Amino acid sequence: MNKGKKFGEYFKSLRLHLGLTLRDFCLQNGFDPGNVSKLERGVFLPPQDDQKIRVYARALGLREGSAEWIEFFDRAAAEGGRLPEDIRNDSSVIQRLPAFFRTLRDKKLSEDDLERLIEKIKRS
């Protein structure tokens, strides 16, 4: 449904799924419509503060711990050039990341190869 969308596009699709205009969404949640518009259009990067992302996720009706919740946080982290909080706090994963990054750089994976790698990791 939302594969390949950037954070702002994903945010907007979730809002629209609620059937809310930008103005109504912002009025109901006390957000500045100009800032949310810029976020949805990619003018603003996703918030760096996980607490602010939580506020947005709850306003969008995402259930904490759900696949959509995790996807929302993962997209925010990736677009902001950060690792998701749960990965940042897992030292065993952090220790393996340099080797993973080197592999990605050295292999210059095609889009299909990257998809296969992702599927292989999911099955692990």
More confident residue, 20 or 120: 20
Q: Which residues contact 58 (CB under 8 A, 6 or more apart)?
A: 64
- Burial 15-44, CB ≥16 within 10 A → b, else e: beeeebebeebbeeeebeeeebbebbeeee
The 10s digit of each residue's pLDDT in 17-51 is: 999 999 999 999 999 999 999 999 999 999 999 99
**Could you tell me how far CA 96 lies from the centroid of its own chain?**
22
pTM of the model: 0.79
The string of pLDDT tens digits covering residues 82-118 is 888 888 888 888 888 888 788 878 777 778 877 777 7
